[in-house]
Amino acid sequence: MHSSMTSPSRYAALSKEEFQDLKLLDSCAVANAIERFRMQLRNEGYAEGGLVCRYPYMLPVLGYAMTLRVRSSAPPSKGRTFFENTEWWNELLAIPAPRILVIQDMDRYPGAGALIGDMHVCILKTLDCVAVATNGAVRDVSRIEGFDFQMFSGSLTVSHAYSHIVHVGGPVQIGGLEISPGDLVHGDCHGLVRIPRELASRIPATASALRKKEEEIMSYCHSSGFSVDGLRDLLAEQ
Protein backbone atom coordinates (compact mmCIF):
# COMPACT_ATOMS: atom_id res chain seq x y z
CA MET A 1 0.00 0.00 0.00
CA HIS A 2 1.36 3.40 -1.00
CA SER A 3 0.81 6.61 0.95
CA SER A 4 1.11 10.31 0.15
CA MET A 5 1.87 11.68 3.61
CA THR A 6 0.94 15.32 4.12
CA SER A 7 1.30 17.85 6.90
CA PRO A 8 -1.77 18.90 8.91
CA SER A 9 -0.77 22.56 8.37
CA ARG A 10 -1.62 22.22 4.67
CA TYR A 11 -5.35 22.07 5.43
CA ALA A 12 -7.04 25.29 6.46
CA ALA A 13 -10.64 25.07 7.66
CA LEU A 14 -13.32 27.65 6.95
CA SER A 15 -14.69 29.71 9.78
CA LYS A 16 -17.70 28.23 11.55
CA GLU A 17 -19.98 30.88 10.02
CA GLU A 18 -18.65 30.35 6.47
CA PHE A 19 -19.09 26.60 6.81
CA GLN A 20 -22.67 26.83 8.08
CA ASP A 21 -23.69 29.29 5.34
CA LEU A 22 -22.46 26.87 2.69
CA LYS A 23 -24.06 23.84 4.29
CA LEU A 24 -27.50 25.50 4.17
CA LEU A 25 -27.39 25.57 0.37
CA ASP A 26 -28.35 22.72 -1.94
CA SER A 27 -25.74 21.48 -4.40
CA CYS A 28 -27.49 23.00 -7.43
CA ALA A 29 -27.34 26.44 -5.79
CA VAL A 30 -23.65 25.92 -5.05
CA ALA A 31 -22.94 24.91 -8.66
CA ASN A 32 -24.92 27.87 -10.01
CA ALA A 33 -22.94 30.29 -7.85
CA ILE A 34 -19.59 28.79 -8.84
CA GLU A 35 -20.47 29.23 -12.52
CA ARG A 36 -20.86 32.97 -11.99
CA PHE A 37 -17.19 33.38 -11.13
CA ARG A 38 -16.01 31.78 -14.40
CA MET A 39 -13.02 30.15 -12.70
CA GLN A 40 -13.54 26.85 -14.50
CA LEU A 41 -15.48 25.40 -17.41
CA ARG A 42 -19.17 24.86 -16.70
CA ASN A 43 -18.78 21.12 -17.23
CA GLU A 44 -16.08 20.82 -14.55
CA GLY A 45 -16.07 20.68 -10.78
CA TYR A 46 -18.90 18.23 -10.18
CA ALA A 47 -19.47 14.48 -10.41
CA GLU A 48 -21.25 13.38 -13.55
CA GLY A 49 -23.98 10.76 -13.79
CA GLY A 50 -23.16 7.33 -12.42
CA LEU A 51 -22.88 8.19 -8.74
CA VAL A 52 -26.10 7.52 -6.84
CA CYS A 53 -27.02 9.34 -3.64
CA ARG A 54 -28.20 6.48 -1.40
CA TYR A 55 -30.23 8.67 0.99
CA PRO A 56 -31.72 11.43 -1.21
CA TYR A 57 -34.02 12.70 1.56
CA MET A 58 -31.11 13.68 3.81
CA LEU A 59 -29.98 17.28 4.23
CA PRO A 60 -26.90 18.35 2.23
CA VAL A 61 -23.50 17.30 3.53
CA LEU A 62 -20.36 19.42 3.48
CA GLY A 63 -16.90 18.29 4.44
CA TYR A 64 -13.18 18.12 3.73
CA ALA A 65 -12.06 15.24 1.55
CA MET A 66 -9.86 12.33 2.55
CA THR A 67 -8.89 10.13 -0.40
CA LEU A 68 -8.17 6.43 -0.89
CA ARG A 69 -7.68 4.16 -3.87
CA VAL A 70 -8.84 0.56 -3.54
CA ARG A 71 -9.18 -2.73 -5.40
CA SER A 72 -11.63 -5.54 -4.72
CA SER A 73 -11.51 -8.09 -7.53
CA ALA A 74 -8.37 -9.95 -6.37
CA PRO A 75 -6.37 -10.43 -3.15
CA PRO A 76 -3.66 -7.85 -2.42
CA SER A 77 -0.36 -8.82 -4.04
CA LYS A 78 1.45 -7.35 -1.04
CA GLY A 79 0.51 -5.55 2.12
CA ARG A 80 -2.54 -6.22 4.24
CA THR A 81 -6.28 -6.34 3.85
CA PHE A 82 -8.48 -3.42 4.83
CA PHE A 83 -9.35 -5.00 8.18
CA GLU A 84 -5.68 -5.17 9.15
CA ASN A 85 -4.79 -1.68 7.93
CA THR A 86 -5.50 1.31 10.15
CA GLU A 87 -2.46 3.54 9.62
CA TRP A 88 -4.37 5.68 7.14
CA TRP A 89 -6.59 6.91 9.98
CA ASN A 90 -3.70 9.20 10.98
CA GLU A 91 -3.95 10.99 7.62
CA LEU A 92 -7.71 11.14 7.93
CA LEU A 93 -7.42 12.84 11.31
CA ALA A 94 -4.95 15.39 9.88
CA ILE A 95 -7.78 16.78 7.75
CA PRO A 96 -10.26 19.23 9.32
CA ALA A 97 -13.62 17.87 10.46
CA PRO A 98 -16.21 17.16 9.26
CA ARG A 99 -14.69 14.79 6.73
CA ILE A 100 -15.89 13.06 3.58
CA LEU A 101 -14.09 9.86 2.58
CA VAL A 102 -13.64 9.72 -1.20
CA ILE A 103 -12.68 6.29 -2.58
CA GLN A 104 -11.64 5.54 -6.15
CA ASP A 105 -12.17 1.89 -7.08
CA MET A 106 -9.26 1.09 -9.39
CA ASP A 107 -10.61 -2.24 -10.68
CA ARG A 108 -11.28 -2.56 -14.39
CA TYR A 109 -14.93 -3.05 -13.49
CA PRO A 110 -15.50 -1.07 -10.27
CA GLY A 111 -17.85 -2.52 -7.67
CA ALA A 112 -16.66 -6.13 -7.35
CA GLY A 113 -16.65 -5.64 -3.59
CA ALA A 114 -17.48 -2.96 -1.04
CA LEU A 115 -14.92 -1.43 1.26
CA ILE A 116 -17.66 0.31 3.25
CA GLY A 117 -20.44 -1.40 5.22
CA ASP A 118 -22.23 -0.67 8.47
CA MET A 119 -19.32 -1.47 10.79
CA HIS A 120 -16.95 0.82 8.90
CA VAL A 121 -19.55 3.59 8.71
CA CYS A 122 -19.78 3.38 12.50
CA ILE A 123 -16.00 3.78 12.71
CA LEU A 124 -16.00 6.64 10.19
CA LYS A 125 -18.70 8.50 12.10
CA THR A 126 -16.62 8.19 15.26
CA LEU A 127 -13.75 9.74 13.28
CA ASP A 128 -15.97 12.73 12.33
CA CYS A 129 -16.83 11.63 8.80
CA VAL A 130 -20.26 12.61 7.47
CA ALA A 131 -20.25 10.81 4.11
CA VAL A 132 -18.44 8.47 1.78
CA ALA A 133 -18.30 8.80 -2.00
CA THR A 134 -17.01 6.13 -4.37
CA ASN A 135 -17.23 5.09 -8.00
CA GLY A 136 -17.34 1.54 -6.65
CA ALA A 137 -19.83 -0.21 -4.39
CA VAL A 138 -21.17 0.13 -0.86
CA ARG A 139 -23.28 -2.32 1.15
CA ASP A 140 -25.56 -2.56 4.22
CA VAL A 141 -27.59 0.45 3.03
CA SER A 142 -30.67 -0.50 5.08
CA ARG A 143 -28.62 -0.84 8.26
CA ILE A 144 -26.78 2.43 7.65
CA GLU A 145 -29.98 4.35 6.93
CA GLY A 146 -30.45 5.38 10.56
CA PHE A 147 -26.83 6.49 11.06
CA ASP A 148 -27.28 10.05 9.67
CA PHE A 149 -24.44 9.29 7.29
CA GLN A 150 -24.62 9.92 3.54
CA MET A 151 -23.29 7.59 0.85
CA PHE A 152 -22.70 8.19 -2.86
CA SER A 153 -21.73 5.15 -4.91
CA GLY A 154 -21.68 3.72 -8.39
CA SER A 155 -23.31 0.46 -7.28
CA LEU A 156 -24.34 -1.81 -4.43
CA THR A 157 -22.95 -5.25 -3.64
CA VAL A 158 -23.46 -8.03 -1.11
CA SER A 159 -19.77 -8.74 -0.47
CA HIS A 160 -16.48 -7.18 0.58
CA ALA A 161 -14.80 -9.49 -1.94
CA TYR A 162 -11.04 -8.73 -1.68
CA SER A 163 -11.40 -5.03 -0.83
CA HIS A 164 -8.05 -3.53 0.08
CA ILE A 165 -6.40 -0.12 0.00
CA VAL A 166 -3.70 0.38 -2.63
CA HIS A 167 -2.99 4.08 -2.08
CA VAL A 168 -3.66 6.61 0.67
CA GLY A 169 -4.01 10.31 -0.17
CA GLY A 170 -3.29 12.11 -3.41
CA PRO A 171 -5.80 12.99 -6.13
CA VAL A 172 -8.57 10.53 -7.02
CA GLN A 173 -11.28 10.66 -9.65
CA ILE A 174 -14.91 9.60 -9.26
CA GLY A 175 -17.66 10.38 -11.73
CA GLY A 176 -15.23 12.49 -13.76
CA LEU A 177 -14.52 14.70 -10.73
CA GLU A 178 -10.96 14.97 -9.43
CA ILE A 179 -10.72 15.39 -5.67
CA SER A 180 -7.60 15.85 -3.54
CA PRO A 181 -7.17 15.60 0.24
CA GLY A 182 -8.51 18.69 1.97
CA ASP A 183 -10.81 19.71 -0.90
CA LEU A 184 -14.13 21.14 0.19
CA VAL A 185 -16.94 18.89 -1.08
CA HIS A 186 -20.70 19.55 -1.01
CA GLY A 187 -23.26 16.83 -1.73
CA ASP A 188 -26.97 16.05 -1.72
CA CYS A 189 -29.55 14.19 -3.81
CA HIS A 190 -28.32 15.99 -6.94
CA GLY A 191 -24.71 14.83 -6.58
CA LEU A 192 -21.31 16.14 -5.55
CA VAL A 193 -19.69 19.54 -6.11
CA ARG A 194 -16.10 20.52 -5.36
CA ILE A 195 -16.01 24.07 -3.98
CA PRO A 196 -12.96 26.17 -4.86
CA ARG A 197 -11.61 27.32 -1.50
CA GLU A 198 -11.07 30.89 -2.70
CA LEU A 199 -14.79 31.18 -3.51
CA ALA A 200 -16.17 29.58 -0.35
CA SER A 201 -16.94 32.82 1.48
CA ARG A 202 -18.53 34.42 -1.61
CA ILE A 203 -20.81 31.59 -2.72
CA PRO A 204 -23.70 32.03 -0.22
CA ALA A 205 -24.39 35.68 -1.15
CA THR A 206 -24.09 34.90 -4.86
CA ALA A 207 -26.41 31.91 -4.52
CA SER A 208 -28.94 34.06 -2.64
CA ALA A 209 -28.92 36.73 -5.35
CA LEU A 210 -29.34 34.12 -8.07
CA ARG A 211 -32.24 32.50 -6.23
CA LYS A 212 -33.95 35.85 -5.77
CA LYS A 213 -33.71 36.46 -9.52
CA GLU A 214 -35.08 32.99 -10.30
CA GLU A 215 -38.05 33.61 -7.99
CA GLU A 216 -38.68 36.93 -9.72
CA ILE A 217 -38.77 35.19 -13.10
CA MET A 218 -41.06 32.41 -11.87
CA SER A 219 -43.37 34.95 -10.25
CA TYR A 220 -43.52 36.89 -13.50
CA CYS A 221 -44.47 33.71 -15.39
CA HIS A 222 -47.59 33.46 -13.19
CA SER A 223 -48.46 37.16 -13.26
CA SER A 224 -51.37 38.73 -15.13
CA GLY A 225 -48.92 41.04 -16.92
CA PHE A 226 -46.88 38.20 -18.41
CA SER A 227 -45.57 38.63 -21.94
CA VAL A 228 -42.87 36.84 -23.89
CA ASP A 229 -41.03 40.12 -24.47
CA GLY A 230 -41.13 40.88 -20.75
CA LEU A 231 -39.76 37.43 -20.00
CA ARG A 232 -36.94 37.99 -22.48
CA ASP A 233 -36.06 41.25 -20.74
CA LEU A 234 -35.93 39.56 -17.34
CA LEU A 235 -33.76 36.72 -18.65
CA ALA A 236 -31.41 39.22 -20.27
CA GLU A 237 -30.69 40.61 -16.82
CA GLN A 238 -29.51 37.22 -15.55
- Within 10-160, where are the H helices? 16-23, 27-36, 88-93, 118-126, 141-144
Separation of alpha carbons 147 and 58, rounded Å: 11
Provide the residue-wise pLDDT of the chain in tens; the chain has 238 residues.
555 544 444 578 899 999 999 999 999 999 999 999 998 988 899 998 789 999 999 999 999 999 999 999 988 876 555 556 788 999 999 999 999 999 999 999 999 999 999 999 999 999 999 999 999 999 999 999 999 999 999 999 999 999 899 999 999 999 999 999 999 999 999 999 999 999 999 999 999 999 999 999 999 999 998 899 889 988 887 6
